[in-house]
């Protein structure tokens, strides 16, 4: 559970990311630390990056898929060898391995 102060700081950094404003390396590390351990923060970061790239105004199906945060649909983001289920998930987000 995030404290109110931590949540406010994270959301302020995310707002700057989504508006393509300057974010220091230290702030990015701070944010990534929480994104690696908290799925909600990871989703917030994903949404901020989509907004930064200008992808928030897409059709309804694309908007639904992005909202589900299933990951990249690009097959290059996953490993080629799919014979072993464990190897298939090596390209998945870090939080999935702890599930």
Residue 38 CA neighbour count, 13 Å, CB half = 16
pLDDT at 95: 66
pLDDT at 50: 81
Task: Give one word for 72, left, alpha or beta, with left for phi > 0 and alpha for psi -120 to 50.
Answer: beta
> What is the residue extent of each domain of the chain?
4-92
- DSSP label at residue 75: G
- DSSP label at residue 19: T
What is the pLDDT tens value at each position of the chain, 99 positions in all? 789 999 999 999 999 999 999 999 999 999 999 998 888 898 889 888 888 887 555 567 766 766 676 655 555 555 455 566 666 666 666 666 554
């Amino acid at each position: 559970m995030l404290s109110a102060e931590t949540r406010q700081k994270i959301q302020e950094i995310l707002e700057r990311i989504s508006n393509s404003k300057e974010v220091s390396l230290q702030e990015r590390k701070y944010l990534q630390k929480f994104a690696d351990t908290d799925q909600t923060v990871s989703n917030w970061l994903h949404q901020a990056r989509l907004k930064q790239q200008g992808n928030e105004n897409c059709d309804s199906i694309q908007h639904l898929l992005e909202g589900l945060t299933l990951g990249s649909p690009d097959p290059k983001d996953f490993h080629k060898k799919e014979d072993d289920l464990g190897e298939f998930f090596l390209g998945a987000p870090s939080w999935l391995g702890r599930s």
